[in-house]
Amino acid sequence: MSALLSLRDVWVEYGDRIVLEKVDLDVTAGSFVSVVGPSGAGKSTFLRVILGQEQATRGTITLDGAPLPPECGPDRGVVFQKYSVFPHLTVLANVVFGLECTAAPLLAHLFGAKRKAAEAEAAEMLAAVGLADSMHLYPAQMSGGMQQRLAIAQALIKRPRILLLDEPFGALDPGIRADMHALITKLWRQYDLTVIMVTHDIREAFTLGTRVLALDKRRHDPHAPHRFGATAVYDLPLVKPAPAEEPAAEDEA
Amino acid sequence: MRWVNRQIGRRQAFGLGAIPIALLAITYLIASAQRHALNPADKILPLPGAMASAIWKMMGTPDALSGNLVFWADTLASLQRLGLGLGIATLMALLVGLVLGALPPVRAMFGPLVTGIAVIPPIALLPILFIALGLGETAKVALIVIGIAPVMVRDVAGHVGALPREQIVKAQTLGAGSWQILLRVALPQALPRLIVALKLALGPAWVFLISAEAIASDVGLGYRIFLVRRYLSMDVIIPYVAWIALLAIVMDIALSKLSTKAFPWAHGAAH
């Protein structure tokens, strides 16, 4: 399989502090890459560079063979740990927003039949993440787990080439987290997603991923710890058992 | 129970809140009665009856010179100036604050200018306004606008600038550009803050209104207070001040109600 996303000799430096050094990576379509590593090893920076929120100091990143534009765009979806839903929009409006932006460049609002169609599409996506009953709530009225479901639905409505998750389940309690793992695995298969997930939970990384990437510093200078950046020290492809039939009862809001 | 843990119910809060106000009123009545016992013609602490009759006359009897009902003419003139000033300042705060907060190049270009204007004491500009705009309505409205707009602009800009970066990034991954982010992400979230800024600006706005009216005017609540001061007419001044306070409270409550009605999500919509 050819690579969907390629990083070639990517360096990220802030002033004289090197965060990432010489990252070379190919991500094939349909894979689920978990990124782990100690705090401060540049996991989030790695994700932000792919997202386009930050620029690599050196190196090239290509998506589908084309160089990555230096801004975030609809080809890369994202779910952050927090603040990734809009508090002033209802659940339904949060998801419809993505459709409105492309369809109505001037007003960013859809009306009439177009709005009906967009709402139907959004409702379908919300049903897929288990929020069919909460469409008219505001995010502040929902639990953290439900907000993350919403953030996922919001990202998926744009059918991104690649979905980036930045510790998406880090703030959830263990029971809810298990539900979310089942949900993201289901969606990943259902929508043929390519996922890159940053996590500090090693178990989560191995449970969900088809490949685990460990970022850390290869070398360490005790007198100038900031002069060496992190890179992928381990890159483990995991052989997953064929998708087992999922118990239907897993889906619960 | 510790005082920090005591919960006060609605009715209890009403009763507690009324106590100091009642005490103040009683103190005034006693002092006023004492002065009138010594000198029945005392003007400094008028009795409630005298205040009521003075105001009643201004409400119902046309002025000999202008033929207006003075109380209502004053109220109308002042509210008109205040409303215009608040309206223009609010609009400015919304438009300027929004672009200043959301667009870094605009902030870099105009931020220092807004900060500079904000630190000038507005009353110091009053002579310039009177010279440039004349003694009419324009100068008074302009004083209110100059007095409150910069603070409101900075407040709204600060709030928009402090929106989580994640939201702005997320909007872009959903296909939104700068304009759409302004319109759909920044603007709706700036509105409740705009109402807070407006509520905080009400106090200063009244100050600038009364100042402008005291210096150059021929009608208005501030003008009347400063006019009758020459005759020691406390029986007019005190009810006028109370009336101004009442108007200010009504505006404040109306704005709070508007905010909860229009932006339920900003007021911790009930779980």
CATH number of the domain enclosing B103: 1.10.3720.10
**CA A56/CA A67 separation, integer angstroms:** 12
Read off the pLDDT band of B73 (50, 70, 90): very high
Q: Which candidate, A78, A75, A36, places its Cα nearest to that of A199?
A: A36
Name all domains of chain A by residue range, CATH numbers in brackets.
Answer: 1-75+160-253 (3.40.50.300), 79-159 (no CATH)
pLDDT for A155 equals 92
Same structural domain for residues B56 and B10? Answer: no
pLDDT of res. A218: 83
User: What is the pLDDT averaged over residues B50-68?
Assistant: 87
**Does residue B189 belong to any structural domain of this protein?**
yes
Q: What is the pLDDT of residue A249?
A: 46
Contact A138 B265 (CB under 8 A): yes
| B144, pLDDT greater than 50 | yes
Query: In chain A, which residues have their Cβ closer than 8 Å to the Cβ of B169?
Result: 51, 53, 72, 78, 80
pLDDT category of residue A242 using cuts at 50, 70 and 90: low
Give pLDDT, residue A230: 83
Residues B129 and B220 in one domain: yes
Residue of B nearest to A160 (CA): B173
- Residue B169 placed within a domain: yes
Q: Which of B172, B173, B265 to mutate to test the interface with A (most CBs of A within 10 A)?
A: B173
Query: Which of the four pLDDT bands, split at 50, 70 and 90, describes residue A244?
Result: low
Q: Does the beta carbon of A87 lie under 8 angstroms from any beta carbon of chain B?
A: yes
Q: Which among A85, A107, A138 has CB closest to B269?
A: A138
Residues B18 and B87 in one domain: no
B184 and B123 together in one domain: yes
Q: Is the dihedral of CA B195, B197, B203, B206 positive or negative?
A: negative
In the predicted model, is pLDDT for residue A251 greater than 80? no
Cβ A136 vs Cβ A92: under 8 Å:
yes
What integer pLDDT is reported at residue A34 of this predicted model? 93
**B131 and B22 fall within a common domain:** no
In tens, the pLDDT along B198-211 reads 999 999 999 999 99
pLDDT at A238: 81
Does residue B11 sit in the same domain as residue B53? no
Chain B nearest CA to A86, separation (Å) = 7
Q: Are residues B21 and B130 in the same domain?
A: no
The rounded distance, in Å, linking the Cα atoms of B24 and B27 is 5
Predicted pLDDT at B269? 53
Residues B131 and B94 reside in one and the same domain: yes
Chain A contact for B65 (CB, 8 A cutoff) = no
Q: How far is CA A7 from CA A228, B30, B236, in A?
A: 19, 85, 79
Predicted TM-score (pTM) of this structure: 0.86
pLDDT band (50, 70, 90) for residue B53 = very high
Summarised one tens digit per residue, pLDDT across range B191-200 is 999 999 999 9
Is A84 touching B (CB cutoff 8 A)? yes
Q: Which domain holds residue B15?
A: 3-38
CA distance A87 to chain B (A): 7
Region A100-110 average pLDDT: 85
Considering its fold, how many domains does chain B have in total? 2
In whole angstroms, give the CA distance from residue A158 to residue B132. Answer: 56
**Cβ distance of B176 and A78 shorter than 8 Å:** no
Assess if residue B43 is contained within a domain: no
The mean pLDDT value of chain B amounts to 92
B25 and B52 co-located in one domain? no
The nearest CA of chain A is from the CA of B159 a distance in Å of: 14
Average pLDDT (A133-144) is: 90
Mean pLDDT, chain A, whole residue set: 86
Q: What is the pLDDT of residues A56-97, one digit of tens each?
A: 888 889 888 888 888 888 889 999 988 889 999 999 999 999
- According to the per-residue pLDDT averaged within each range, which of A11-20, A67-76, B132-141, B243-252 is highest? B243-252
The pLDDT assigned to A64 comes to 87
Confidence band for A170, pLDDT divided at 50, 70 and 90: confident
- Over residues B101-125, the mean pLDDT reads 92
For B18, the token pair is 């009324």
CB B244: neighbour CB atoms within 10 A? 18
In a domain, B142, yes or no: yes
Categorize the per-residue pLDDT at B74 as very low, low, confident or very high, splitting at 50, 70 and 90.
very high
- Give φ, ψ of A215 to 5 degrees: -95, 130
Q: Are residues B237 and B178 in the same domain?
A: yes
B9 plus B135 within the same structural domain: no
**Which chain B residue lies closest to A106 (C-alpha atoms)?**
B180
Residues B30, B54 within the same domain? no
- Which residue in chain A is spatially nearest to B185 when comparing CA positions? A86
Residues of chain B numbered 99-158 and touching chain A (CB < 8 Å): none
- For residue B204, what are the CA distances in angstroms to B85, B91, B122, B197, B211? 11, 17, 10, 11, 10
For position B82, what pLDDT does the model report? 96
* Residues B163-179, mean pLDDT to the nearest whole number: 92
pLDDT digits (tens, 9 = 90+) for A213-223: 998 888 888 88
Helices (H) and strands (E) in chain B, counts: 11, 0
Contact B153, B160 (CB under 8 A): no
Q: What is the pLDDT of residue A243?
A: 56
